[in-house]
Amino acid sequence: AQSVTQLDSQVPVFEEAPVELRCNYSSSVSVYLFWYVQYPNQGLQLLLKYLSGSTLVESINGFEAEFNKSQTSFHLRKPSVHISDTAEYFCAVSVNRSGFNKFYFGSGTKLNVKP
């Protein structure tokens, strides 16, 4: 069975501080990994994804995530956060089942950046 665990439901952090949002998954088959972000009053949108190749992937707004196969993790990091990063972040895995993708999402982590 597949599952995605985000241990931290809320992460408060001060502006310009580093942050790590944790994500662990369980799967018996190969997966693709994603982080989606939901800004206040907006729909979910893709932040970054790992498909293959380099285990470190980056987004255009300074976030990065590293795929660690041995630890089945895909933690999201940013060295210096901004107020505008305040949002809810969802980790997801995609598994190909019977010819289509089934996406499993974590419970989300609310990042609250304080001035």
Partner 1 sequence: GAGVSQSPSNKVTEKGKDVELRCDPISGHTALYWYRQSLGQGLEFLIYFQGNSAPDKSGLPSDRFSAERTGGSVSTLTIQRTQQEDSAVYLCASSLAGFRGNEKLFFGSGTQLSVL
Interacting residues with partner 1 (CB under 8 A): 4, 6, 9, 31-32, 36, 42-46, 49, 51, 90, 92, 94-108
Of 77 and 105, nearer to partner 1 (C-beta) is 105
Residue 48 Cα distances to 14, 34, 64, 114, angstroms? 23, 6, 8, 24
Choice between 15 and 105, CB closer to partner 1 = 105
Alpha-carbon distance of 77 to 61, in angstroms, equals 11
Q: What's the closest the beta carbon of residue 112 comes to partner 1, in angstroms?
A: 16
For the CB of residue 75, give the shortest distance to partner 1 in the complex, in Å: 17
